[in-house]
Structures are given as C-alpha cells and as structure tokens.
Amino acid sequence: MPFHFPVRLGLAALLSGATALPLHATQAEMPQPVAAIAQALSLNDVTWRSSPGGPTLIGRLPGGEVLEFELEGEDTPRLEEIEATTRDGAPLSGVAALLPAAILQHGLIDDDTMFHEIEFDDGKIEIDGVSGDGRRFEAEFATDGRLLEIEFN
C-alpha cells in the first residue's frame, strides 16, 4: 500500500491555493498532485510524463540538483519515490516540504545530509543517503517521523 501523507495531506493544502505555476513545463497541464510537488519545492526545468502506472516528474531544485519523482495511480496519483539523478545525491532539506517535520528534526538529519532515494511504501518512509559526517545510511521511518530502523554502510 503506497504512502499517502505527502500527496493527500501535505499537498492537499498546496492544491487549494494553486492556480497558476511559474514553471517551464511545455507539455499539457500537469495533474494537480504533480504540479503541487513542483510548486512546493520551487522546481525549475520541469518536465513530466504520464504513464500507465502514474505520472513521473523531473525537475531541478533551486540548488541545481535534478530529481525524479514517481507517482502511483492515474486518477489520484500518490508520491511513491523521489530519486536524485546524480552520484552525489541531493540535499534532504530540498524536499523538506514533502516529509514529516519529525524526520527532519531527527538527530541523523542536518543541513549537510544528502539523499539518493526516498521511498514512500507500506506506511513507511525509507531514505537512502549520506549523513553530514559522510556515512552512508539506510533509514526507515514511520509516517509520524519515528525512526524504526537505521543501518550504516
């Protein structure tokens, strides 16, 4: 079962006020959940494509990092995965608007924490990244931000 927090709750508030986006998407109008993600993160160079499983959004964070967002479902897409497209990853703070505050306030997370992939699955949030002190980690959080498991590589 996909994780519903970012799209259903976090983005619902954004959708209520989102009418026009300052984006450079050249394709037809994006589905609202896709547009809301782009707006919430101030993405630039935004492109999206529709597919049978759900839309995919690609955009550049204000710091220059390119991210790919996979959503699941055609009628009401839900955020399923965020992936950084570079070897160095992207700052976790760049996607803070899509994560529960408790995750960002966890002792593991600081301004230098980078991520490679974030998965929203089975009521959990899994983050594969690099801590500020340079250690690779895989962490699993509950949707309320509680740390369930962490492994350093």
Q: What is the pLDDT along the chain (153 residues), one digit of tens a residue?
A: 333 333 333 443 333 333 333 333 444 478 888 889 999 999 999 998 888 888 899 999 999 999 999 999 877 788 999 999 999 999 999 999 999 999 988 887 888 999 999 999 988 999 999 998 899 999 999 999 999 999 998
Q: In CATH, what number is assigned to the domain containing residue 46?
A: 3.40.1420
The DSSP bridge partners found for residue 51 are: none
Q: Domain range for residue 79?
A: 5-152
80 φ, ψ (degrees, to nearest 5): -115, -35
The DSSP bridge partners found for residue 84 are: 67
This model's pTM is above 0.85: no
Q: How many domains does the chain have?
A: 1
